[in-house]
Amino acid sequence: MLDNLLSLMIFLPIVLGAGILLLPVGREAARALGLAASVLVVLFGLKIFLTFNGSSGLEFVERSPLIESLGISYHLGVDGISLLVLMAAALLFPMVYLLFRTREKGYYGNLLIVQGAMIGAVCAADLVLFYMFWEVMLLPVFFMIGLYGGPNRLKATVKITIYTIAGSLLMLAAIIYLGMAHHQATGQWSFAMDALSGLSLAGPAATLAFVGFMVAFAIKIPLFPFHTWLPDAYTEAPTATTFVLSAIMAKIGVYGVIRFVVPVFDESFARYALILACSGVVGMMYCGIAALVQKDFKRMLAFSSASHMGIIALGIFCMNVQALTGTLYQIVAHATSTGVIFLLLGLIEERSATRTIDDFGGLASRAPILAVFFAVAMLASVGLPGTSGFIGEFLIILGAIKFNAVIGILAATTLVIGVCYMLWLFQRVFFEKPAEKTATFHDLTAIEVLTILPVIVLIIVMGIYPQPFLDKINPAADRQIAALAQVVAVADSGDGAELNNQGKN
């Protein structure tokens, strides 16, 4: 049974979720089932993390043909690139079931399905399979926002759905193009990643397909200027869904770029990396500035999340091993820190029934434990050394400077931009005089503390002792950069070499 660990992680939640939706199950039972499934997934995930060795390519491979005539197969596997994303998708879910009680059963069902689909998308090594999971991922989000969201949920739902589907369809066209290109080159249909990455694509059609993929992922990440669905969706979604969207789903967009775009479209990628990097940096600054003036707690955090995604995405486009490793690391670091922030926000929202920042005040004296947890997550998100946020951010900035000094300098402004809005938020919510609306605010309960504490500990451990994690992802990042370097060496890339030459002179 444990041979099919990945399938189990994917289909246990999906089947259970579908069952919960179809069968007359009570709300509490649904929650208990969801919790049990997610805990099992955590255990499987830990097993994968511990037995993963990282020196070779895909591990835990499962492969069986799905549509043989078209070369579509059910092909799963984990490597250093997907490992940490998989961990984020596998490990964070039990918290949602433990912390939030007042949801309807359908909510839990959808949550299970989205988890299974996300794990599937991360593990898929076949593009068609990936596309299927990618689309399935969206459905539960549609229902979770549309059914259980805030007052303006319909607009937000329509926006995120149409936006994402538009991107996905472009990607579908690109995937079909890739299959055809493979057919033309070898006479065989295949959508397997290992087969496709061997293709050498050129010409306008390849560029178009590259754009198709990039747009799909850019929307999901979201990359500036495709981020406009995000504030609405994050704000209107129930907080647990926002948590799923920001902590995990956005990361799958980043993962998609690293996993599919970089190896397959290496040439186009190298050519447009600078533009993409600019988009990442501009997005970081733009969303960071926009975050400052938000009045709604959640909307502010939404912009903050988008701002961080800009810097995370930047790491991919710098095409060196430091930045790429930084991105992979930051995927988890940001998932944990932003995840905790959104979860705490959800708890705060439940307790005080408001989200307007000015309604808060003095929470630190009413709820010191909550304040400490929030502070740790906040410090991780602004990249304080000693927390997980620093390692990734520093590596990305370091890599960005190697790639292009100007981009690197702009990227480093995240150090300042981040603290501006975060500290101001912390001041107005947790410090100052206790506000009336928070008069009856009570601190975290024991269960809530125990639920969040492991993640807080993880944030700090990942900041102080990151090497075990890095060891898992380093070989894969090295391989990818080495493969890319060959292409870059052929292509014209004056920008990247500039600084090195300066150093040697």
Partner 1 sequence: MEGNLSSLGFIPLLPLAGALVLGLMHLATCRGRLISERIYALVGCIGPILSFLLAVNVFFALQALPAQSRFLSHQAFTWFSVGELTISMGFLADPLSVLMLLFVTLVGSLIHVYSIGYMAGDPAFGKFFSYLNLFLGSMLILVLGDGPLVMFVGWEGVGLCSYLLISYYSEDRGNVVAGNKAFIVNRIGDFGFVLGMSFLFWGIGAEGFDYLSLKANAHLLAPTLGITVCLLLFVGATGKSAQIPLYVWLPDAMAGPTPVSALIHAATMVTAGVYMVARFSFLYAQVEVAGLVVAWIGIMTALLGAIFGMFQNDIKKILAYSTVSQLGYMFAGVGVAAYSAGIFHVFTHAFFKALLFLGAGSVILALHHRQDIWQMGGLKNKLPITYWTMLIGALALAGCPPFSGFFSKDEILYSALAGGHTGIWAIGVLVAGMTAYYTFRLIFVVFHGQPRDREVYDHAHESPKVMTLPLIVLAVGALFAGFLNLPAIFGGHQQVSHWLAPSLTEVHPHGSMATEVLAIGGSVLAFVVGISIAYRRFAGGAEQPVFTGFRKFAYHKFYVDELYDTVLVRPYRFVGQAVQRVIEPYVTDGPVRAAAWLYRMAGLAFKVIQVGYVRVYAIYMVIGLSVMSLVLSQSLNF
Q: Between residue 304 and residue 323, which ones bind partner 1 under the rule CB under 8 A? A: 320-322
Q: Give me the 440-469 binding string for partner 1, x by CB under 8 A, dash otherwise.
A: ------------------------xxxx--
Determine, following the binding rule CB under 8 A, whether residue 412 of this chain makes contact with partner 1: yes
Joined together, the tokens standing for residue 3 give: 């041979």
- Residues 424, 437, 483, 491: which binds partner 1 (CB under 8 A)? 424
Determine, following the binding rule CB under 8 A, whether residue 394 of this chain makes contact with partner 1: yes
Residues whose CB is less than 8 angstroms from the CB of residue 231 and which lie 6 or more positions away in sequence, other chains included: 299, 302, 303, 306
Q: Which of 31, 143, 138 minimizes the C-alpha distance to 94? A: 31
CB of 325 to partner 1, least distance (A): 5
HSE, CB side, 13 Å, CA atoms: give it for residue 282.
11
- The one segment of 26-34, 116-124, 259-267, 378-386 that binds partner 1 by CB under 8 A: 378-386
Determine, following the binding rule CB under 8 A, whether residue 415 of this chain makes contact with partner 1: yes
- The one segment of 49-57, 234-242, 256-264, 398-406 that binds partner 1 by CB under 8 A: 398-406
- With CB under 8 A as the rule, give the number of residues binding partner 1: 68
Nearer to partner 1, 6 or 156 (CB): 156
Tell me the C-alpha distance between 209 and 214, whole Å. 9
54: left (phi over 0), alpha (psi -120 to 50) or beta: left
- The one segment of 30-38, 74-82, 102-110, 362-370 that binds partner 1 by CB under 8 A: 362-370
- The one segment of 85-93, 201-209, 289-297, 350-358 that binds partner 1 by CB under 8 A: 289-297
- The one segment of 31-39, 170-178, 246-254, 368-376 that binds partner 1 by CB under 8 A: 368-376
Residues whose CB is less than 8 angstroms from the CB of residue 435 and which lie 6 or more positions away in sequence, other chains included: 359, 360, 361, 362
Determine, following the binding rule CB under 8 A, whether residue 409 of this chain makes contact with partner 1: yes
Q: What angle, 0 to 180 degrees and rounded to 10, lies between the N-to-C axes of helices 204-220 and 153-186?
A: 150
- Residues 319, 395, 459, 484: which binds partner 1 (CB under 8 A)? 395
Tell me the C-alpha distance between 358 and 189, whole Å. 59
Secondary structure of residue 71 in the 3-state scheme:
coil
Nearer to partner 1, 203 or 503 (CB): 503
- Residues 32, 228, 461, 485: which binds partner 1 (CB under 8 A)? 228
Determine, following the binding rule CB under 8 A, whether residue 372 of this chain makes contact with partner 1: yes
Tell me the C-alpha distance between 404 and 39, whole Å. 44
Check if the beta carbon of residue 224 is closer than 8 Å to that of residue 184.
Answer: no
Q: Between residue 154 and residue 213, which ones bind partner 1 under the rule CB under 8 A? A: 159, 163
Task: List C-alpha distances in Å: 106 to 11, 95, 156, 234, 434.
Answer: 18, 18, 19, 20, 37
Long-range contacts of 445-454 (CB under 8 A, 24+ apart): 447/98, 448/98, 448/99, 448/347, 449/369, 451/94, 451/95, 451/98, 451/99, 452/95, 452/99, 452/340, 452/343, 452/344, 452/373
CB of 443 to partner 1, least distance (A): 8
Query: How is residue 409 annotated by DSSP?
Result: H
Nearer to partner 1, 180 or 464 (CB): 464
Determine, following the binding rule CB under 8 A, whether residue 290 of this chain makes contact with partner 1: yes
Nearer to partner 1, 66 or 419 (CB): 419
Determine, following the binding rule CB under 8 A, whether residue 433 of this chain makes contact with partner 1: yes
Helices (H), 124-203: 127-148, 153-186, 193-196
CB of 429 to partner 1, least distance (A): 11
- Residues 129, 391, 455, 456: which binds partner 1 (CB under 8 A)? 391
Tell me the C-alpha distance between 2 and 8, whole Å. 8
Dihedral sign for Cα 403, 407, 408, 414, please: negative
Q: Which residues pair with 65 in a beta bridge?
A: 73
CB of 391 to partner 1, least distance (A): 6
Query: Interface with partner 1 by CB under 8 A: which residues?
Result: 159, 163, 224-225, 227-229, 231, 286, 289-290, 292-294, 320-322, 325-326, 362, 364-365, 368-369, 372, 379, 384-386, 390-391, 394-395, 397-398, 401-402, 405, 408-409, 412-413, 415-416, 419-420, 423-424, 427, 430-434, 464-467, 470, 474, 477-478, 499-500, 502-505
